[in-house]
Structure 1
């Protein structure tokens, strides 16, 4: 269990670094930029905010945003009844935390977690203001 917690904390730290890079990649408030209607987090054409959690402005395809909304609705049914090794957020067998952010413990299939990681890694390249 300790190893699993360390692994999760390590991934969480990576997510924070990615978020810091994303925030650092956009122009500071009040500076000239090519920001769109939604400020520095305006997505390139064809992308929308993921909205996996409140404040999630990672740009993804509309299908992925719809998938995230479905996962949010289904998440509670994918938790282990009565909790488990990770407390009340323990997922049933076959599901893992999405981890779109360190606090995102919605239970999803492993492929969805991989998708969230890939989308986080591509976040800066999908912003309208970064080219």
Structure 2
């Protein structure tokens, strides 16, 4: 049975643990959203000018802050996880007006934030940020 379902926390050679899949997936989703924001802002600035780049960049600000927090997902402490959860909730609410206006990130920002919230509320994510050893 263990061949089909490998353990989430396998020991490594440096006496640490591997990051759980849910935390790694949340990290990749956040990085993808941040990169999309950079590409959208840069292309709007290049094609339409500075004012368009600024209006395109505004909905991505919480996503970029969330990307900076995602860089610290290897750190211990619930404060990193709680900060990421709060920024994902802020990003979800922040990007709703872009859906009705037809601007980036549109529904992608809301869906990505919802996925990050669901992944960070899992038990293995909670155990990753606050190990009990």
TM range (shorter): 0.3 to 0.5
Q: TM-score, normalised by structure 1?
A: 0.36
Give the greater-gyration-radius structure (CA).
2
Larger helix fraction of residues: 2
Larger strand fraction of residues: 1
Q: TM-score, normalised by structure 2?
A: 0.36
